[in-house]
Amino acid sequence: MAAAWAGASLVKTGDLSAGAHAMIERGEWHPDQFPNNRALAEGLTQNYFGAFKAFLPAELTTILEDAGLQVMRCGGLGSLAGLCSPEALTVVLKDTNRLETFLTIGERFDKEILPEGPGTRLRAGLIAVARRL
């Protein structure tokens, strides 16, 4: 979320706002936290984006393990797609076989190459897969 908030902050306020810094430092955001925060949410979910707390993979893993779960996987999902250009993705989406190959490579990329990656640009975040012990 830090990249999304930094980008929104630069576009909406012309600078890296206090809200963007708070996201980077503490992974926390709330619309009333700083004066410019509401501007960062403009255009999102009918101009309202509620408070949230973002977690690093290690933090989320610890929370799940403390709850008695065995974590099978925790990390970004779709990071390769998020890092590719829109033109490259357009090419991929035009062919079913190419798409299947890309998805297979993308899954490996997320697990082995960039396991704590950012996820997709519009759906930044983590996925955690866990089971009860």
pLDDT score for 60: 93
pLDDT score for 120: 72
pLDDT score for 132: 95
Sequence-distant (6+) residues with CB within 8 A of 105 are 80
Residues 18 and 80 grouped into a single domain: no
Residues 71 and 120 grouped into a single domain: yes
Interior/surface letters 5-20, b for 16+ CB within 10 angstroms, e for the rest: bbebbeebbeeebebb
Check if the beta carbon of residue 73 is closer than 8 Å to that of residue 131. Answer: no
Q: How far apart are CA 102 and CA 108, in angstroms?
A: 10
Check if the beta carbon of residue 3 is closer than 8 Å to that of residue 82. Answer: no
pLDDT score for 7: 83
Q: How far apart are CA 15 and CA 35, in angstroms?
A: 13
Residues 45 and 101 grouped into a single domain: no
Residues 38 and 82 grouped into a single domain: no
Task: State the residue range of the domain holding 80.
Answer: 57-132
Residues 65 and 90 grouped into a single domain: yes
Total domain count, the chain: 2
pLDDT score for 96: 95
**pLDDT values of the chain reduced to their tens digit, one per residue, 133 residues:** 677 778 888 888 888 889 888 888 888 888 889 988 888 777 766 666 788 888 888 999 999 999 999 999 998 888 898 899 999 999 999 999 999 999 999 999 988 998 888 777 666 678 899 999 8
Closest C-alpha among 24, 123, 126, 127 to residue 81: 123
Residues 65 and 127 grouped into a single domain: yes
Residues 61 and 110 grouped into a single domain: yes
pLDDT score for 97: 96
Beta strand 69-76 pairing with 126-132: antiparallel
